[in-house]
């Protein structure tokens, strides 16, 4: 019996020791589980915060991407407009250079015409000083009273009249006739 008793005591000691050890282990494991649960809760909260921040960042990215696409389209439009403006500018520059050349040629023609106009005005002034009846004395009935006919007459048919008739074709009229006729024909 003694052995049995010792066995029971050993078993009781073992059971009590095992229970105490198990109780210590259970308390230790419970504390560890509580720490792990707290860590899990903290991690879950951090994850939720990160998930929320990710959703905000994704939304911001989508908005920025949309803005970028719009800016890219605007840039492409502006670049196309810039190229068109450069082409138009080059075309206008070419047209301007062409017009400058034409203007220079027109200026030369204008200057030439100005000189001719001054010469014609001077000739007209001389012509107007001579009475018109000088060229319509009746002696030139085959010719009209034009510059061309006068030139033709003076270069082809002219013979200075020798007879003197007062107020018809006297000396002053002959001088004016020759001066105007030859002066205009040979200019």
pLDDT tens column, 103-147: 999 999 999 999 999 988 887 777 676 655 544 444 555 666 677
Both 141 and 169 in one domain: the answer is yes
In a domain, 17, yes or no: no
Backbone dihedral angles phi then psi of residue 160, each to the nearest 5 degrees: -65, 125
As for how many domains the chain has, the answer is: 2
Same domain, 113 and 136: no
> Quick one: pLDDT at residue 142?
64
Contact 174, 135 (CB under 8 A): no
Residues 134 and 181 grouped into a single domain: yes
Range of the domain at 104: 66-118
Q: Is residue 88 part of a domain?
A: yes
Domain boundary (75, 91, 118) is at 118
**55, part of any domain:** no
Cβ neighbours of residue 124 under 8 Å, at least 6 residues apart?
none
Asked whether residue 141 is domain-assigned, the answer is yes
Whole-model pTM: value is 0.40
Q: How far apart are CA 84 and CA 101, in angstroms?
A: 26
């Amino acid at each position: 019996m003694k052995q049995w008793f010792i066995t029971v005591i050993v078993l009781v000691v073992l059971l009590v020791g095992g229970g105490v050890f198990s109780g210590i282990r259970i308390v230790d494991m419970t504390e560890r589980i509580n720490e792990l649960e707290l860590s899990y809760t903290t991690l879950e909260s951090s994850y939720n915060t990160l998930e929320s921040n990710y959703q905000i960042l994704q939304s911001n990215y989508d908005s920025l991407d949309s803005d970028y696409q719009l800016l890219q389209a605007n840039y492409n439009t502006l670049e196309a407009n810039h190229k068109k403006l450069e082409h138009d500018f080059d075309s206008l520059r070419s047209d301007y250079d062409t017009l400058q050349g034409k203007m220079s040629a027109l200026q030369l023609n204008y200057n030439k015409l100005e000189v001719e106009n001054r010469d014609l005005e001077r000739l007209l002034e001389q012509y107007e000083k001579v009475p018109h009846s000088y060229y319509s004395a009746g002696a030139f009935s085959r010719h009209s009273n034009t510059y061309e006919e006068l030139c033709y007459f003076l270069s082809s048919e002219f013979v200075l009249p020798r007879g003197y008739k007062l107020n018809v074709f006297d000396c002053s009229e002959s001088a004016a006739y020759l001066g105007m006729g030859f002066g205009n024909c040979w200019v």
